[in-house]
Chain A
Amino acid sequence: MIRTENLTKVYRMGEVEVQALRDVNLEIQDGEFIAIAGPSGSGKSTLLNMMGCLDKPTSGAIFIDDIDTGMLSENKLAEIRREKIGFIFQQFNLIHTLNALENVALPMFFAGVGRETRLKRAEELLAKVGLEDRVDHKPSELSGGEQQRMAIARALSNDPEIIIGDEPTGNVDTEAGNVIMDILEGLNREGRTIIVVTHDAEIAARAGRTKRMRDGKVLD
């Protein structure tokens, strides 16, 4: 379960202070598929970064499975990202020097999984997202949709409970976007919590619940 308590984030851009999040209170249950929608600058990516343990709040708190992540060291946060969370980015963010198999195996390497095991599992995960015949391909040799599927396989690498997608379909065509959503729905059916940021109403409609954000606040 993810729970925020008066979560507030303030960025300093030189002289200017930007209130990215203002007193956000939100609860996401295990196994939920939630979409967070809103215009750009509404703070949804900031919220996602907080829930993904990439960033710490300025004030307030965010709990992941009742752990106050604001109190954790950088190393502990890295561990949570590694074990509990799978990230999917709009820009895919694959390592372009590595092929599909190696990209997918990378989080397992950071987790200290043995080479044999991680390569075998990476292969299985690529098959799961329909990329079994792209194992040796570099990201640049694949289409946007395929790259995003590779990124999903990578997100699944350490079998996380939570998948976080920041506009996961934002950079692919509608058809590929639907495939990605199908995969995410499948993962949700496996019991994983899926949190997706989007400003695409159609995508948001496929989630179990949608929260709207504006000016750093969660509406409703």
Chain B
Amino acid sequence: MTENGAVSDTQRADQFRRLHPLTPVLRGWKVFAAAVALGAQQAYGRDTPIGWLLLAVAASIPIGVVYGFVSWRTTRYRIDSEDLRLDTGVLFRRSRQVRLDRLQAVDVVRPLVARALGLAELRLEVAGGSSAEAPLAYLSEPAAQRLRAELLARAAGLHHETPEAPESVLVKVPLRRLVEGQVRSVGLIAAIVVLVALIAVAATTGQWSVLGVFVLPALFGIVPALVRTVIVHFDFTVAESPDGLRLRHGLLETRAQTVPPGRVQAVRLVQPLLWRSRDWYRLDVNVAGYAGDGQSQTSVLLPVATRDEAFAVLRRVLPDVDLGAVATYGVPGRARWVDPVSWTGNAAGADDKVFVARRGRLRRETDVVPHERVQSVRLTQGPIQRRLSLATVHVDTSPGPVHPTAHHRDAADARALLDAEVTLARRSRAGARPDRWMRPPERPAGPTVAR
């Protein structure tokens, strides 16, 4: 295998491309900084002469440089009409082929240091992987943009020199709304109430030490999460192009995601309790390649949006779907015995395009999954549900934050819902759009391709 591979490699070597030469520097500086920090920590307070430490660090530099250079030399990639090939590894060589028609998403990620050097990482997401299948780190920014356009054009079935598709911005999330959305969380409000109560207690009793015991851990638990969300979703922009939806966000590390049409497996519309007066929503999605690795960053389609914005994006993701027109049916009153608070919010239904499940009373969630994306359908019933003649219907899609579930329905009704979903999913699978979304389908396709 190696012999043949070597021969064909040399023949087509001119088509192989390399990563940016600064890649080893960017990859190496973290290790170097960590080594220095560790060394300094070890040496601190001991009588190890600082000279030895410097010597050790100095000795590690050439080794690191040589390894980085060899690693860069041995990493190369090639794109042809069907797939991307990526060869990596110094000691253990690995050659990976990624089928472009199975591409689920393409992300351009720019960590802070890479931005300073004008570099970017290109991540190709393919279904079934726990992390990005073929990360190309690092490329120069223009190269990353060009490559992204080329990959998407090839994946769509167009000529690879097709110019980058034009885009129109759909939504830009203002910073003020992003911050306010985070502040309007029940957890934060509760924490502030507790804090005020504790200060009152401390002031009356004079026992100020309670503050340190209770408040600091609470602050360390809540505040970083809020700040992190704001940093990650900073300047969140959703744009539309024939390539698919383009999401751009981030303050320190910026991320530009491209999700081609038809790659969204399921969508969730969330409205936390304190967003209701503003009529704001969050949109989460299941995209096959995004499961696992950094899912909380990549699976957000809109962090905070007004109703109009949320529905505008929803229409782009699920064309021909009018969420308001899908009739959903609630659950019988006896469901209160298993779900005392939110049973009134539970509802489910379907039209000929999508399955919709609503739940929650205080925090409202609506899960939407197109029938053609349904992987399997399950009916479950626990002992208490059985006594009450209730059952739950689960619609399984590719892994992600959205699990469309119709909780605690009347048992006979649940079975009817299951059977209906199976039939609807079968019909829409037959008319599904082709993987290469710009190329005319090889067989006559059904009405779902209309857009």
Partners in one complex: no
